[in-house]
C-alpha cells in the first residue's frame, strides 16, 4: 500500500510598512521533508525522499518611519537537478547484471595479452611527448592533445588498471573465491555497483525580492551533483550446489577471465570499434550478463540515485539601513526503483553523453578535421 509522509518546520511571519500601509510576508516553512514509499511484506520497495532546507535570506530595511521591513523572508529558487540518464531498469539493468555477477572476471587476461601488441606504439608516443619532441606525428597541437586523450582513455588507463590488479592477483582470486562461496549459500551474494555520477559548480546572481517597490539581486555560488548506484543479490540456480566450497582453480579461472564462457565476450571486445557500438547497444554487458544468468539467478535488483543542489547566497547591502542576510539553500532527492525479475535483454538506445563520452567524441572530431 502506497503512503506519503510530509514533515515541515520553520514557519516565519514578518511585518512592516510601505508608504505608511501595513504589509506582511510569510514563509510557510524553512525545512520540508517528504517520503513516498510503500507498506507491505516485501523487503525492498520503491521509494522517493526529498529534502528542502532554506536558512537565512531575510530582508531588513529602515528607510523611513513610513517604510520599513522587519526581517521579511526573501524567495529562492530550488532549481532543477543535474541532467542524468532516466532512472529505469532498461537503462541500467544489463550493466548491473554484467558488473556484479559472480562469473564476471576482475581482469580479462586473454584480452589484456591481445592488447599488449599496441604497447610499443604507446611507449613511442609517450616518449615523444615526455621528451618534448616537436610534433612527432606532424600533428597540430590540438590534434596532438586529442591523440593523447585517446591514448590515455583507451591505452594507458586500462593497461595500468589491469596491471595493478595483476600485481595482486592473489587478492583478486581470494575475493572471487569468497564471492562464489557466498553465491552458493542460502542467503546468496549481495553486490553493489556504482553506475553514474557528475558534479557541476555554478555561480551567478538571482532576484530574490521584487515586491513593495524594491528589487534585490543576490549573488550566489554552489553546485549540482548526482550519483547513481545499484544493488542485487545472486543465488545459485541449481540448489544442489548450495554449500559447495569453490576451489582455488575455479576462482582463478573466473577472476582472470579464463572460463570457456568468456570466449565470446573476449572476441567481441577485441574487435575494433566495439567500444563505440556498446554505447548504442551494450553488447559486451549483454554477453557478460547472459553468461552470469546461466548459472546464477539475480534477485531484488534495486537502482538508487541521490541528486543534490546546494547554493550559498552572499549578503546584500545598500548602506546600513537596507540589507538581505546571507542564505543557504539545499534541495536533494533520493530515489529507489525495484526490479524483481531482471533480465539481460539487448536494447538499442541513444547514449547519454557524459563528460567521458563527450571528451572521446571531441577528440575523435578534432582528429577527423583535416583528416588523419
Task: List the pLDDT tens digit at each of the 372 positions of the chain.
Answer: 788 999 999 999 999 898 888 999 999 999 999 999 887 766 678 899 999 999 999 999 888 888 888 899 999 999 899 988 888 888 888 889 999 999 999 888 877 777 666 555 555 555 555 555 444 455 555 455 545 554 445 444 565 565 556 567 778 889 999 999 999 999 999 999 999 999 999 999 999 988 887 888 999 999 999 999 999 999 999 888 888 889 999 999 999 888 988 888 888 887 877 766 776 778 888 899 999 999 999 988 999 999 999 999 999 988 767 889 999 999 999 999 988 766 666 554 545 555 555 554 444 444 454 444
3-state secondary structure of 73: strand
What's the rounded Cα separation, in Å, for the pair 76 and 2?
A: 31
- Is residue 122 within 8 A of residue 160, CB to CB? The reply is no
Query: How high is the pLDDT of residue 50?
Result: 97
- Is residue 299 within 8 A of residue 232, CB to CB? The reply is yes
Query: How high is the pLDDT of residue 372?
Result: 44
Q: Label the pairing between strands 21-27 and 58-64.
A: unpaired
Q: How many domains does the chain have?
A: 1
What's the rounded Cα separation, in Å, for the pair 295 and 289?
A: 11
Query: How high is the pLDDT of residue 352?
Result: 53
pTM of the predicted protein model:
0.77
Query: How high is the pLDDT of residue 315?
Result: 93
102: cell is: 559472480
Query: How high is the pLDDT of residue 113?
Result: 73
Q: Looking up cell 510598512, which residue turns up? A: 17
- Is residue 228 within 8 A of residue 84, CB to CB? The reply is yes
User: Burial level of 194, CB count in 10 A (0-12/13-18/19+)?
Assistant: exposed
Rounded to the nearest 10 degrees, the angle between the axes of helix 248-255 and helix 169-183 is: 110
3-state secondary structure of 49: strand
Query: How high is the pLDDT of residue 93?
Result: 87
3-state secondary structure of 102: coil
Query: How high is the pLDDT of residue 122?
Result: 52
Q: Looking up cell 532546507, which residue turns up? A: 53
Task: List CB contacts of 69: < 8 A, sequence separation 6 or more.
Answer: 14, 16, 59, 60, 61, 212
Which domain range does residue 208 map to? 2-368
Query: How high is the pLDDT of residue 159?
Result: 58
H-type helices in 133-273, by residue range? 141-151, 157-167, 169-183, 248-255, 263-270
- When computed from its CA atoms, the radius of gyration of the chain, rounded to whole angstroms, is 28
Amino acid at each position: 500500500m502506497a503512503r506519503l509522509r510530509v514533515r515541515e518546520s520553520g514557519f516565519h511571519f514578518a511585518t512592516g510598512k510601505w508608504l505608511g500601509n501595513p504589509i506582511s510576508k510569510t514563509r510557510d516553512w524553512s525545512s520540508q521533508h517528504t517520503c513516498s514509499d510503500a507498506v507491505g511484506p516485501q523487503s525492498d520497495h520503491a521509494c522517493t525522499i526529498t529534502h528542502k532546507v532554506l536558512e537565512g535570506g531575510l530582508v531588513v530595511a529602515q528607510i523611513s518611519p513610513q517604510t520599513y521591513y522587519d526581517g521579511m523572508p526573501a524567495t529562492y529558487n530550488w532549481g532543477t537537478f543535474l541532467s542524468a540518464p532516466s532512472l529505469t531498469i532498461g537503462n541500467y539493468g544489463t550493466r548491473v547484471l554484467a558488473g556484479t555477477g559472480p562469473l564476471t572476471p576482475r581482469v580479462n587476461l586473454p584480452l589484456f595479452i591481445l592488447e599488449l601488441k599496441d604497447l610499443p606504439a604507446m611507449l613511442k608516443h609517450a616518449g615523444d611527448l615526455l621528451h618534448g619532441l616537436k610534433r612527432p606525428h606532424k600533428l597540430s597541437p590540438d590534434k596532438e592533445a586529442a591523440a593523447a586523450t585517446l591514448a590515455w582513455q583507451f591505452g594507458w588507463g586500462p593497461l595500468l588498471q589491469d596491471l595493478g590488479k595483476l600485481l595482486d592477483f592473489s587478492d583478486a582470486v581470494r575475493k572471487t573465491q569468497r564471492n562464489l562461496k557466498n553465491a552458493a549459500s542460502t542467503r546468496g551474494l549481495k553486490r553493489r555497483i556504482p553506475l553514474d555520477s557528475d558534479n557541476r559548480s555554478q555561480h551567478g546572481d538571482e532576484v530574490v525580492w521584487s515586491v513593495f517597490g524594491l528589487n534585490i539581486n543576490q549573488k550566489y555560488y554552489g553546485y549540482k551533483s548526482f550519483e547513481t548506484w545499484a544493488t542485487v543479490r545472486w543465488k545459485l540456480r541449481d540448489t544442489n550446489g548450495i554449500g559447495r566450497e569453490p576451489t582455488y582453480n575455479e576462482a582463478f579461472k573466473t577472476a582472470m577471465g579464463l572460463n570457456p564462457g568468456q570466449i565470446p565476450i573476449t572476441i567481441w571486445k577485441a574487435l575494433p570499434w566495439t567500444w563505440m557500438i556498446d554505447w548504442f547497444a551494450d553488447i559486451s554487458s549483454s554477453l557478460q550478463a547472459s553468461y552470469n544468468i546461466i548459472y546464477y539467478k539475480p534477485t531484488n535488483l534495486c537502482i538508487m540515485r541521490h541528486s543534490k543542489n546546494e547554493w550559498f547566497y552572499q549578503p546584500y547591502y545598500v548602506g546600513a539601513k537596507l540589507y538581505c542576510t546571507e542564505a543557504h539553500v539545499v534541495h536533494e532527492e533520493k530515489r529507489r526503483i525495484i526490479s524483481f525479475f531482471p533480465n539481460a535483454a539487448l536494447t538499442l538506445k541513444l547514449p547519454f553523453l557524459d563528460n567521458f563520452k563527450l571528451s572521446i567524441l571531441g577528440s575523435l572530431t578534432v582528429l577527423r578535421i583535416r583528416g588523419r
